[in-house]
Amino acid sequence: MNEELAKIHGELISARRPEDIFGQLSSGNVESQLERIKEIYIRLTRTIFPDHYRGNTEEFDMASKALEILNVFREKAVRRVNGEASDAEFIIKKSQREYHIDLAPIAEGDLSIIFGGYYSDSGNNKDVIVKIIKDPSDADLMRNEAKIIRILQTEPGNQSKHLPILLDQFRTTDRKIGLILDYFDGYDLYSVREKYKDGIDQKDMVWMLNRSLSLLGRVHINGTVHGNVDPSHFMVRPRDHNMRMIDWSYGIVNSSMTGDGFKVFNKDFSPPEVKERKMPIPASDLYSVGKCMIYVLGGDIKTNIMPNSVDKELQRFIQFFVRESPIQRAQDAWEMRSQLIKLIERLWGPRKFREFRM
Ligand SMILES: Nc1ncnc2c1ncn2[C@@H]1O[C@H](COP(=O)(O)OP(=O)(O)O)[C@@H](O)[C@H]1O
Ligand SMILES: [Mg+2]
């Protein structure tokens, strides 16, 4: 197998935006950007031109696929730079700005279809996602998500980068609600497990856990519970070890005062109190976070058994999150975070940045 071809093919397959291949694109300085797109295109096609691989079916197919993806992204990149619309996108006009959204969805959630797009902010293109609800009877959940994100983002702080930004809300012509949120260029934990079939290294897991605890500490202090933490809602970004918790549709605010309860039972990731219709507490989210960590480590989420490669002390630490009884379980995200940091330093010495690749 031609290694260079395999490498470029891999990069193209995992790219989700034209920027991933052609670098930052904006509507300023059009000429030099078109020049850069052209250079990159020529450089890549030198390797992936299918004709080089006549005689080797596997390589030929790989090259053809790579070229097909590259052509789609090049067209998008050129359009973005020129600020043009196309048949492959729709436009959402709001008072502040105009969003260009690709017609082909990038993901499907439990409640909605997710589309990717961008808007131009004084010459710079900013990426967004649009969630359009599938079943109008779920409209309350989507409205709830908008409400919770607004509450969480009212006081910008250190944790804001771990939370979605709600840019706009709209209705389609058939009266379905949609939300426009900023795009997060990370991967949800299902995608991480797709790449790491046997689970990730414990040292890559700990930064994910650390970030999520720091975020949840802040969210819980404000009286909010996420209510449905699972691998599709836990996103991580390898390059700077950022994480983001998304999909606040099931969020609960000040449950003891409002009587607001759990909105969904997630078979593998919800704590038992959800089924028992008890009051949501911060520990409920910690249970789900613990399950997510067992999952990403390649453990068994039914039995909570983790691979032997995971340090026994770290295993005990995670087991404390997934205790069935809510009162015997980890309660306080910030407290658990400081314990985690102490544990990591005791096990492996001072913390240092460890590269994680997707
Ligand atoms: N802001 C975002 N940036 C990038 N990808 C996202 C973003 N929000 C959602 N996604 C992708 O879409 C999937 C479904 O999103 P989610 O908000 O859970 O939708 P639903 O409410 O329909 O369940 C996520 O698992 C993730 O892969
Ligand atoms: Mg979801």
Q: What is the pLDDT of residues 314-326, one digit of tens each?
A: 999 999 999 999 9
Domain edge (last residue) among 135, 157, 182: 182
Q: Give the pTM.
A: 0.87
Tell me the per-residue pLDDT of 184-197, one tens digit each, with 9 for 90 and over. 999 999 999 999 99
Which CATH number goes with the domain that contains 46?
A: 1.10.287
Q: How confident is the model at residue 243 (pLDDT cuts 50, 70, 90)?
A: very high
Residues 117 and 174 both lie in one domain: yes
Backbone angles phi, psi at 30, to 5 degrees: -55, -50
Give the range among 158-162, 178-182, 194-198 with minimum mean pLDDT.
158-162
Domain edge (last residue) among 141, 158, 182: 182
Q: Give the Å distance between the CA of 107 and the centre of ligand 1.
A: 7
Residues 66, 48: contact at Cβ < 8 Å?
yes
The pLDDT score that the predictor gives to residue 27 is 66
Q: Which ligand is nearest to the CA of 109?
A: 1
> Is residue 354 assigned to a domain?
no
* Helix, strand, coil percentages, rounded to 5, for the chain: 45, 15, 35
> Is residue 358 assigned to a domain?
no
The pLDDT score that the predictor gives to residue 122 is 81
Residues 262, 277: contact at Cβ < 8 Å?
yes
The pLDDT score that the predictor gives to residue 158 is 74
Q: Which atom of ligand 1 is nearest to the CA of 181?
A: 1
Q: Which atom of ligand 1 is nearest to the CA of 164?
A: 1
Q: Residue 197 and residue 94: Cα distance in Å, rounded? A: 42
Residues 78 and 105 both lie in one domain: no
Residues 146 and 67 both lie in one domain: no
Find the mean pLDDT for residues 160-183. Answer: 92
The pLDDT score that the predictor gives to residue 207 is 97
Q: Which atom of ligand 1 is nearest to the CA of 184?
A: 3
Find the mean pLDDT for residues 140-146. Answer: 96
Q: Which atom of ligand 1 is nearest to the CA of 249?
A: 21
Q: Give the Å distance between the CA of 183 and the centre of ligand 2.
A: 15
Which CATH number goes with the domain that contains 176?
A: 3.30.200.20
Among protein residues, the one whose CA lies closest to atom 24 of ligand 1: 232
Give start and end residues of each alpha helix (H) in 57-160.
57-82, 139-153
CB-defined site of ligand 1, < 6 Å: 107, 109-112, 114, 129, 131, 164, 181, 183-184, 188, 232-233, 246-247, 249
Is pLDDT of 156 > 90? no
Residues 18, 44: contact at Cβ < 8 Å?
no
Residues 47 and 101 both lie in one domain: no
Q: How far is CA 37 from CA 24, 40, 42, 67, 194, in A?
A: 10, 5, 9, 15, 31
Residues 38 and 111 both lie in one domain: no
Its domain, for residue 25, covers: 3-82
The pLDDT score that the predictor gives to residue 231 is 98
Q: Give the Å distance between the CA of 277 and the centre of ligand 1.
A: 26
